[in-house]
Amino acid sequence: MLYSMWLPIFGLGAVFICVCLLAAVQLDSPIYLALAAIGALTIFLRLWIVRAYTRVAPARHMKDLRRWERLYAIGNYASAVQLALLNILVLTVHEPMLQLIAVSLIFSFGAGVVARTAIRPRLCVISLLLATIPTVVALALHAFNGHGDELHTEMFLVEAMLVAMITGLSLQTVAHLYRTAVGHHMAKHDLGQLAKHDALTGLANRLLLRERFQTLIESAGRNGRLLAVHFLDLDGFKAVNDSYGHPVGDSLLQQVARRLEAIVRVEDLVARLGGEEFVVLQGGILHQDEAQMLALRIVRELSRPYEISDSVSGVSVSVGIATAPTQGVELERLLAAADAALYRAKKSGKARVIFCTGEDIATVHLAA
């Protein structure tokens, strides 16, 4: 975001250099030429850093992001100090038009800084104060240097107060924009979470399941490993729901979700498809035995009693397993094949683990 706009950096820098050259001609002083040269070098370096960032963007690690942010901040601070120095120098003489132009750069700089960097309030506030505080002090001191003009003192004091007031308002604007941006990003994050997670259990839903499956299947293809798709269905859940009511059933599903999350590895995924149906994606395995070991552990852990509202409820779980890429690379077909195996597991006595067979795969292809 900080590096998204190079034009304001170039534009304000060009105007700053022009004002310095104008002051050099008007006041016949080489110090303004030196300031123009420093300004040109600063703008060149800032634009070079912007270009360098675009070549490596997006930065993936927080350490790198902080380094790029520090570089941007240093450039911003340098520009602010140069603007303040220009105003201090110009206000040591009595050239009202030149002083008006120089002070107007402060307003342009402040507006740009607030608009672009309010999301980083520390950077924004320091930049504003570096440019405005020296300018306010220089205006106030110049006000009391008698030059014989009518209302000279009053007008420069008013201008100093104006810069100070605008600075204060800008700081309030920074705070408002920052809160608004944080609120926006939090709302966006929450909406993203809702879009990809089951509202009851907090597990992944079908959308996130598809995204994660694509990542895992690509990894399996590159590394020559297998991806196991475990299709789970709770045995006896309907009886618990009917006997104790939906609140108890919902609580049981939430406990099931927490147990599943505790069983699987960080790189695996647990999703709820709806009702009492769950899916576990187990990536990076070498043999089906690893999938069977996880499935047996799931059956054991999920079949332990659940304590809900001072009562103990018992359910078990049946699991059907399909593996990719040996049995397909499309999620929906793998789910259908695992579901077919799950159906056989429940039919053969429940609390069972069964791998899908070639017959299950053929049935899925015929249905498709």
Question: What does the pLDDT read at residue 56?
Answer: 80
Residue 147 domain flag: yes
- The bridge status of strand 353-355 relative to strand 311-313 is unpaired
Query: Is 343 buried (19+), middle (13-18) or exposed (0-12) by CB count in 10 A?
Result: middle
Strand ranges in 288-352 using DSSP code E only, listed in sequence order:
306-308, 311-313, 316-324
Query: Is 310 buried (19+), middle (13-18) or exposed (0-12) by CB count in 10 A?
Result: exposed
CA dihedral 141, 144, 147, 148 (to 10 degrees): 160
User: What share of the chain has pLDDT > 70, as a percent?
Assistant: 94
Same domain, 178 and 215: no
Same domain, 337 and 294: yes
Residue 99 domain flag: yes
Which one of 194, 218, 251 terminates a domain? 194
Averaged pLDDT for residues 294-299: 95
* Token code pair at residue 191: 């909406």
Same domain, 171 and 286: no
- Assess whether pLDDT exceeds 70 at residue 176: yes
Which one of 145, 171, 194 terminates a domain? 194
Same domain, 154 and 213: no
Residue 2 domain flag: no
Same domain, 61 and 174: yes
Residue 342 domain flag: yes
**Residues 6+ away with beta carbon under 8 Å from 215:** none
Averaged pLDDT for residues 231-240: 91
Same domain, 324 and 183: no
Averaged pLDDT for residues 273-302: 93
Structural contact between residues 163 and 105, judged by C-beta atoms closer than 8 angstroms: no
CA dihedral 102, 106, 107, 111 (to 10 degrees): 140
Round to whole Å and give the CA distance between 91 and 23. Answer: 11
Chain-centroid distance of CA 145 in Å reads 52
| CATH number (domain holding residue 289) | 3.30.70.270
In Å, what is the CA distance from 142 to each residue of 124, 138, 156, 162, 164? 27, 6, 7, 15, 15
**Residues 6+ away with beta carbon under 8 Å from 48:** none
Same domain, 274 and 186: no
Same domain, 211 and 185: no
Same domain, 125 and 226: no
pLDDT-derived band at 240 (thresholds 50, 70, 90) equals: confident
Type of residue found at 302: L
Round to whole Å and give the CA distance between 287 and 290. Answer: 6
Q: In the 8-state DSSP scheme, what is residue 204?
A: B
Residue 98 domain flag: yes
Residue 201 domain flag: no
Same domain, 137 and 264: no
DSSP string, 217-236: HHHHHHHT-EEEEEEEEEET
Same domain, 341 and 213: yes
pLDDT in tens, 92-140: 988 888 989 999 999 999 998 888 888 889 999 999 999 999 999 999 9
pLDDT in tens, 218-231: 988 888 899 999 99
- The bridge status of strand 277-285 relative to strand 269-274 is antiparallel
Structural domain that includes position 21: 7-194
DSSP string, 18-82: HHHHHHHHHHT-HHHHHHHHHHHHHHHHHHHHHHHHHHHPSP-SHHHHHHHHHHHHHHHHHHHHH
| Domains held by the chain: number | 2
Same domain, 183 and 275: no
Which one of 173, 194, 215 terminates a domain? 194
